[in-house]
Amino acid sequence: MARNLGGFLVLFLAISICEAASIFQPISDSHRSAALELFSPTDGSFGSLEETYEALRTFEILGIKKRPDISAASCQSVSETLGSSTLSLKDVFHALKVNSILKCKVNDETFQGVAKRLKAVLNDASSLLDFYYSIGSLVLIKDQNSGVDVLLHDADGVFRSIKALSQSDGRWRYSSNNPESSTYAAGLALEALAGTVSLASSEIDQSLIVTLKNDIVKLFDSIEKYDDGSFYFDEKLVDAREHQGPLSTTSSVVRGFTAFASVTSGSINVPGDKILGLAKFFLGIGIPGNSKDFFNQIDSLACLESNRVSVPLILSLPATVLSLTKKDQLKVKVNTVLGSSAPPLTVKLVRAFISGTKDSSVIESLELKFDPETAVHFLDVLPKSVDVGNYKFVFEIVLHDSEDKNVYATGGQTQVPVFVTGLIKIDNAEIAVLDSDHGSVETQKQLDLAGENAVSLSANHLQKLRLSFRLATPRGNIFKPHQAFLKLRHETKVEHIFVVGNSGKQFEIILDFLGLVEKFFYLSGRYDIELTVGDAVMENSFLRAVGHVELDLPEAPEKAPRPPPLAVDPSSRYGPKAEITHIFRSPEKRPPQELSLAFLGLTLLPLVGFLIGLLRIGVNLKNFPTSAVPATFALLFHLGIAAVLLLYVLFWLKLDLFITLKTLCFLGTFLMFVGHRILSHLASTSAKLKSA
Amino acid sequence: MVKSTSKEAHALFHSLRSAYAATPTNLKIIDLYVVFSVFTALIQVVYMAIVGSFPFNSFLSGVLSCIGTAVLAVCLRIQVNKENKEFKDLPPERAFADFVLCNLVLHLVIMNFLG
Amino acid sequence: MAASETSNGTALRYAFGNVLSFFILLLIGVLAFSIRLFSVIKYESVIHEFDPYFNYRVTQYLTKNGIYDFWNWFDDRTWYPLGRVIGGTVYPGLTLTAGTLYWILNSLNIPLSVETVCVFTAPIFSAFASWATYLLTKEVKGAGAGLTAAVLLAMVPSYISRSVAGSYDNEAVAIFALIFTFFLYIKTLNTGSLFYATLNAIAYFYMVCSWGGYTFIINLIPMHVLLCIVTGRYSSRLYIAYAPLVVLGTLLASLVPVVGFNAVLTSEHFGSFLVFIIIHVVALVYYIKGILSPKMFKVAVTLVLSIGLVVCCAVIAVLVALVASSPTKGWSGRSLSLLDPTYASKYIPIIASVSEHQPPTWPSYFMDINVLAFLVPAGIIACFSPLSDASSFVVLYIVTSVYFSGVMVRLMLVLAPAACIMSGIALSASFDVFTRSIKFQLPGVKGNSQVDAGDTSSEGVVAQNEVAKTDKNEEALKERPSKKNRKKEKEHVEKPFVKAQIKKRLLVLPFEASIIAILLLILLGAFYVVHSVWAAAEAYSAPSIVLTSYSHDGLHVFDDFREAYSWLSHNTEVDDKVASWWDYGYQTTAMANRTVIVDNNTWNNTHIATVGTAMSSPEKAAWEIFDSLDVKYVLVVFGGLVGYPSDDINKFLWMVRIGGGVFPHIKEPDYLRDGQYRIDSQATPTMLNCLMYKLSYYRFVETDGKAFDRVRRTEIGKKHFKLTHFEEVFTTHHWMVRIYKLKPQKNRIRGKAKKSRSKASSTTSTKRSETQRKNPWH
């Protein structure tokens, strides 16, 4: 049972995987909600300016109006950062970026000062990051405040010095003194160069641009590819200060590349399918978990959306599962990566074939109709040749006017897996018990597998059980599901599972109990019958109790295999163990309180008697020394004894043995001294008395 | 016969009292002390007989402390007794010091045993 | 005028005597200490046999974790899976003593390791013991006898056997405690002061802490009290000596966790309570007798006696009831086997299986107390003239201890001090007689002659000191006369001197006879000295952990045990369980620091029986038993190659008996070929197939062609066989210790599954390698 369900789960999982495997949905509202979750300001502002910028930028791209209002806090930190005399390039850069979105009120002097300092930095900048940040900041200043003079006078020099860091394979080094070349750095470098070009007071000489373009081409040669046609850049440099994953690397490259393409004229011959592949890569990520990835994804998609080289168009299907019985339409949408509408075009269904079989295509080139108000290309009814099953549809986008062709990247033919499901008809299902020797039917029951039915059969080990049914698709063809199991379960939870084989047109299984006696561990009695028929495209997959059969099998001989212990279900195996209950010795019964108290009083009685007796005898303290010194000693002696007794009480109450013994040492010595004095004194007096 | 024995017993008690009246006061005090502790012990034993000896160590320490003090007191009495010829050389003060020391030790142990 | 002269002469001799006896005692202590160092000199400073290792481990724990942790220490390293509460089941006296020594030394910045302290604890305490003996004997028969007894005890072999350096066992301390307790008892009896009574109780407490043999004291002293009362020697001193001891002693004893309430519940102690009551009755009787006129007392006696009888009967009835109610009639197995020598062998094989619980043989008497055995009767006679409380006590002591030592070899140890005291008394008395008779036949004035005697003896002392310590007793005897008759003079100093002389003249022996007798006595002493030195050097100084053997080609040292234990500690997991016969449990936990199943503290018979059953069942069954105890390694001791007699094969019958006692399917006759135990080709198939045989003789034939067992002096029965469930992992250099590992359970299904899975994974991996990289984001 659990096993079958597991089978289903695995099946559906697999389907969902290969469904997502090559469908790229453009950015949708799920991204927007995710953005609001990911970029949630903590107490009115984001952690750092960088994060603030990422959040703001994401919201801007996604066109989220109801962004959390953080402008006050961020603006203040922006102005602080810009105003501060000690500038750290990174902060300034991000501050300016934030400012570019928030449009805080920053007065020109600050911009002037910052720009001056940035230029100073730029002049003696050596490492790539310095260039990147300073130039980036200058660019930002430029388009935030046109008044400030940020133009570079020797743009060529800067350009060359950045270019000097480039490698032959199109990647860049972070600084001249470490040889490690990195793709991420390449992205930064390109962006910086783009900034340089835009800042150049005079025209950069074209040869540099051309070489740089070749570099870019080389860089794109080192692009990586996934099997679903998505391209990405990966970071070779592993021991960088922080390792950049493919996502951040790719996004930095895309950012730089698009920025550069936007500032330079002339074409960069990067094939459109690579751009499309990059777009697919970013879209394929789905919704990243952390804000950094999210920002990279959205930002680079935005770059791609508005790039100059070629805008990728994404072909997506709202539903890839079409039900024959419900007569679903095949719908196709074509958008840009951010989901904005595409130029006029037509989508052609080039061909469709059952997945797994490459050649035999069921459909040849159909043209999808276009529904302008929903912007959906659709195919109102599937052709007769399409039956239940999973297919691969191959679409092609044909742009209408020709100059769009070099603006948009359609990526040729797109292959989409489509599942065509339907209700499966189950007919002439029957279960029968037949005698083994000649197949004469003893009892035979018709089954209605669509509904409940509880047949009760009885058989002995000389007979056979036959179960047979027939499956047909809506189109009337024979249908072969993935799973067709028959399960017999004994009262003692011993299960046996048989695969129902199919003979041509109908499914049939014959259990010859004579052969199965051994397998059934000679367990006679009632066996519940369960039939499982399941398939991904079968809308009415079922797992149904058919009924039960009373088996009487021969007695188990010696050395017959014992039935195996029941398989513990994993939840109990990995779940919490049964709690061990400890057995404590039960406390002895205590006497009633009153009794004890009464006896406590009783124990005091003899003491009273003792005192009375003392009085009657007439105890006298005339032996108590009268002169001062012995008297004090006597007093001390008694005090000492009292102290020792007190110490004992304390010992009983809380002290431990060693403290008690230590204290006892001191008390004891004191007591001995005093006692010796007083007693010797007494002795002497008594001796005097005797002598006298 | 019974009559005679009872009379003898009576006479015996008479002579006992008269003989005991002769004992000096400090011995009487000690005797009283002994009797007192013995009675305390007896009461505890009765208690034990009634409710059972569950916290056995406390019962033991209770009774033994009484018996112990009684025994020590008896020893003291023997030593300070003037009539006792064996302890001529032992002054009563020394005996008393020993008595105190012994008691202290005894009660230290008892306190420890009381748990 | 003579009296005055003698009086200041006596004062002078007093001084001499005290200084002398002090020096002599010092030398005796040194002697007692040094004679026990043979083992350290011949071998090394290592802890001996089995139990000492446990004590050593406990001491380590104590010094590391402090006393409170030690007090409630639950040891999970032994008796797996039961564990053992060490704090509650061990006699802490020895451990605490050594711990205190260690602590003191370290606080004095004398950095000795715990092991060193443990090794030297026994000799130190034997020195103390000899001093205690001096004190005791001095109380009984005067200083001279004391010195003699001390010397004898310092060298008595049976005590040496338990207290050589390194045998770190309870007895080492306990004997001192025993003697000292007796001394204090006698002292109290003589002085009748409460102070000594208190000390006595505390010494008794120390004894209870250190040894189970304290029951000997708590039974011997009441017996003596009873004896005194019966012989009409009751005195109030007796009361003072006994009554506080019972009360305080019982309380103190029940402070020790091992004893606990047994001190009042088990019937080893009931005797003392009974006597306690009796002595009170008697005291009352004496008191009344004191204050009444005899005539009235006659009357009183009738009443008091009747009442007293009634009380006694009631008390006895109560006691009997208690005894009957308490389990095993209130007597623990060991003490029962004391009273009834055949008890143990009948009922408790574990107790019987220990060699030192067997009744001794006559040679062992001669071996252990040598000439003392002959001197003891003389001592007893000497004690009867005159009979004092003290001497009667000593006589009682010797008699009972002789009986007990007749029951258990181990209790020879209790006999030894008594024998020493007795023979000390005897020797001193005889020397006294002889020297006096010599002196009176010598010409010259007695006074200066005595002085001569005095300082000759003193010179003698000095001389002797340089020469050799071993003649100390002899020389202690030499200087006896002066002191002896000085003592006599002191006794009747008020008598006219002359009369004393005459009285002495009466018991004078002929001159030559006494000379010869003295020489003979000296010879006897010398013989004793030689014997005990030999015993200390040869017989008793072997630490059974390292063995040596002389053969034609010199000395062989077998250090296999430590080799095996260190192998265990280095090559096995920390929490592996090692199964072996219980003799090696303590050593394994202490030296290899591995968890054992059973060890030498045999508190759980069933558990030991389980191991015994495993050892005596065939391989598969044994494997199952061991596996159920999740044992990883099995350790057997095998002497067949080097001829080490006390190996597991020789102990095997005990394993069978103990195992069979609990698991009846193990039957001793199956292992005996018509009543005799043999492992050669005549042996029974059960014997040849049991685990112990296989583990012992596995691959034994490979050593010499024909597998000749040097202990059993035969060729073994089954030579070539394979082990199916065990594999040999280690065998020491001389094959004395062999360690086997339990083979893991083979598990077919798992193996098949693994194969298939591996295949699958390989195929998938190949597939992956040829396909293109999958997009990880999906």
Beta pairing partners, A316? A333
Report phi then psi at C153, rounded to 5.
-65, -35
Report residue C238 as tokens: 């007796």
- C-beta separation of A640 from A671 below 8 A: yes
Would residue A584 count as lying in a domain?
no
Nearest CA distance, A18 vs chain C (angstrom) = 9
Report residue C778 as tokens: 């999906």
Would residue A598 count as lying in a domain?
no
Confidence of residue A556 (pLDDT cuts 50, 70, 90): confident
Whether the pLDDT of residue C138 is over 80: the answer is yes
- Select the more confidently predicted residue: B92 or C466: B92
- Select the more confidently predicted residue: C198 or C509: C198
Per-residue pLDDT, A429: 83
From chain B, pick out residues whose CB is under 8 angstroms from the CB of C315. Answer: none
Give Cβ neighbours of residue B65 (< 8 Å, ≥ 6 apart): B106, B107, B110
Whether this model's ipTM surpasses 0.85 comes out as no
From chain C, pick out residues whose CB is under 8 angstroms from the CB of B23. Answer: 291
Confidence of residue A680 (pLDDT cuts 50, 70, 90): confident
Chain A interface, best mutation among C71, C195, C777, by max A CB count within 10 A = C777
Beta strands A506-512 and A463-472 are antiparallel
Q: What's the average model confidence in pLDDT over A144-157?
A: 75
From chain C, pick out residues whose CB is under 8 angstroms from the CB of B1. Answer: none
Q: What's the average model confidence in pLDDT over C1-17?
A: 68
Per-residue pLDDT, C477: 43
- Is there a contact between B12 and C283 if contact means CB atoms under 8 Å apart? no
- Select the more confidently predicted residue: C766 or A502: A502
- The segment with the largest mean pLDDT, out of A554-563, C331-340, C467-476, C508-517, is C508-517
The CATH number covering residue A339 comes to 2.60.40.1080
From chain B, pick out residues whose CB is under 8 angstroms from the CB of A619. Answer: 25, 29
The pLDDT tens digits of the residues spanning C207-220 come to 999 988 888 899 89
Whether the pLDDT of residue A537 is over 60: the answer is yes
- C-beta separation of A473 from A385 below 8 A: no
Per-residue pLDDT, A243: 66
Per-residue pLDDT, A621: 66
Per-residue pLDDT, A570: 62
**Nearest residue of chain C to residue B103 (CA atoms):** C198
Would residue A604 count as lying in a domain?
no
- Is there a contact between C772 and A285 if contact means CB atoms under 8 Å apart? no
**Nearest residue of chain B to residue C297 (CA atoms):** B12
Q: What's the average model confidence in pLDDT over A4-21?
A: 44
Report phi then psi at C34, rounded to 5.
-75, -30
Q: What's the average model confidence in pLDDT over C444-471?
A: 40
Whether C305 and chain B come into contact, CB under 8 Å, resolves to no
Whether the pLDDT of residue A562 is over 70: the answer is no
Whether the pLDDT of residue C116 is over 80: the answer is yes
- The segment with the largest mean pLDDT, out of A173-182, A391-400, C611-620, is C611-620
Whether B87 and chain C come into contact, CB under 8 Å, resolves to yes
Residue C495's CB is within 10 A of a number of other CB atoms, namely: 11
Q: Which residue of A613, A617, A679 is in closest CB contact with B97?
A: A679
Would residue A593 count as lying in a domain?
no
Do A335 and A431 sit in the same domain of this protein?
A: no
Confidence of residue C499 (pLDDT cuts 50, 70, 90): low
CA distance A415 to A394: 4
- Select the more confidently predicted residue: A595 or C95: C95
End-to-end CA distance of chain A: 115
Do A344 and A408 sit in the same domain of this protein?
A: yes
Whether A286 and chain C come into contact, CB under 8 Å, resolves to yes
Do A204 and A324 sit in the same domain of this protein?
A: no
Do A238 and A349 sit in the same domain of this protein?
A: no
Full residue range of the structural domain in which residue A319 is found: 313-421
Nearest CA distance, B55 vs chain C (angstrom) = 12
The pLDDT tens digits of the residues spanning C678-691 come to 888 888 888 888 88
Whether the pLDDT of residue B5 is over 70: the answer is no
Whether the pLDDT of residue B53 is over 80: the answer is no
Confidence of residue C99 (pLDDT cuts 50, 70, 90): very high
Report residue C513 as tokens: 């006879």
Nearest CA distance, B50 vs chain C (angstrom) = 17
- The least confident of A205-209, A330-334, C68-72, C563-567 is A205-209
Per-residue pLDDT, C398: 92
Give Cβ neighbours of residue A688 (< 8 Å, ≥ 6 apart): none
Report residue A503 as tokens: 């003979």
Confidence of residue A6 (pLDDT cuts 50, 70, 90): very low
Beta pairing partners, C550? C555
**Nearest residue of chain B to residue A621 (CA atoms):** B26
The SS3 call for residue C120 is helix
**Residue that finishes a domain, picked among A400, A421, A442:** A421
Mean pLDDT score of chain C, rounded to an integer? Answer: 80
Confidence of residue C754 (pLDDT cuts 50, 70, 90): very low
- Select the more confidently predicted residue: A411 or A610: A610
Report residue A324 as tokens: 């024959």
Confidence of residue C471 (pLDDT cuts 50, 70, 90): very low
Do A328 and A396 sit in the same domain of this protein?
A: yes
In chain B, what are the domain boundaries? Answer: 25-114
- The least confident of A61-75, A518-532, C205-219, C506-520 is A61-75
- Select the more confidently predicted residue: A167 or C571: C571
- Select the more confidently predicted residue: A70 or B57: B57
| Angle at alpha carbon of residue A427, lines to A425 and A430, rounded to 5° | 145
Count up the domains in chain A and report the number.
4
- Select the more confidently predicted residue: C79 or A44: C79
Q: What's the average model confidence in pLDDT over A285-311?
A: 82
Across C615-709, where does the E strand assignment appear?
633-637, 708-709
Whether A350 and chain C come into contact, CB under 8 Å, resolves to no
End-to-end CA distance of chain C: 128
Mean pLDDT score of chain A, rounded to an integer? Answer: 79
Whether the pLDDT of residue C32 is over 60: the answer is yes
Do A430 and A402 sit in the same domain of this protein?
A: no
Do A178 and A302 sit in the same domain of this protein?
A: yes
Do A136 and A265 sit in the same domain of this protein?
A: yes
Do A459 and A537 sit in the same domain of this protein?
A: yes
**Residue that finishes a domain, picked among A288, A309, A330:** A309
Q: Which of C385, C411, C410, C386 is nearest to C398 (CA)?
A: C411
Q: Which residue of B32, B94, B97 is in closest CB contact with A614?
A: B32
- Is there a contact between C288 and B16 if contact means CB atoms under 8 Å apart? yes
pTM of the prediction? Answer: 0.62
- The least confident of A126-130, A274-278, A558-562, C690-694 is A558-562
- The least confident of A71-80, A279-288, C45-54, C618-627 is A71-80
**Residue that finishes a domain, picked among A394, A421, A448:** A421
pLDDT > 90: what percent of chain A? 0
Give residues 234 to 253 of C whose Cβ lies within 8 Å of B. Answer: 235-237, 239-240, 243-244, 247-248, 250-252
- Select the more confidently predicted residue: C268 or C136: C136
Q: Which residue of A226, A281, A656 is in closest CB contact with C773?
A: A226
Chain B interface, best mutation among A597, A614, A678, by max B CB count within 10 A = A614
- Is there a contact between C303 and B11 if contact means CB atoms under 8 Å apart? no
From chain A, pick out residues whose CB is under 8 angstroms from the CB of B104. Answer: 641, 644, 668
Confidence of residue C129 (pLDDT cuts 50, 70, 90): very high
CA distances from A235 to A38, A164, A224, A299, C608 (A): 26, 20, 10, 19, 67
The pLDDT tens digits of the residues spanning A412-460 come to 778 888 888 888 888 888 888 887 666 677 778 887 777 777 888 888 8
Q: Which residue of C244, C255, C302 is in closest CB contact with B72?
A: C244
- Select the more confidently predicted residue: C96 or A176: C96
**What does DSSP assign to residue A538?**
B
Do A319 and A215 sit in the same domain of this protein?
A: no
- Select the more confidently predicted residue: A231 or C477: A231
Whether B13 and chain C come into contact, CB under 8 Å, resolves to no
Per-residue pLDDT, A320: 81
Whether the pLDDT of residue C341 is over 80: the answer is no
Confidence of residue C468 (pLDDT cuts 50, 70, 90): very low
- C-beta separation of A506 from A468 below 8 A: yes
Whether the pLDDT of residue A257 is over 50: the answer is yes
- The least confident of A275-279, A398-402, C321-325, C710-714 is C321-325
CA distances from C778 to A22, A218, C201, C775 (A): 9, 29, 86, 6
Confidence of residue C449 (pLDDT cuts 50, 70, 90): very low
Would residue A10 count as lying in a domain?
no
**Nearest residue of chain B to residue C260 (CA atoms):** B57
Per-residue pLDDT, C175: 92
Do A413 and A270 sit in the same domain of this protein?
A: no
Whether the pLDDT of residue C76 is over 70: the answer is yes
The CATH number covering residue A457 comes to 2.60.40.10
Do A141 and A260 sit in the same domain of this protein?
A: yes
Per-residue pLDDT, A622: 66
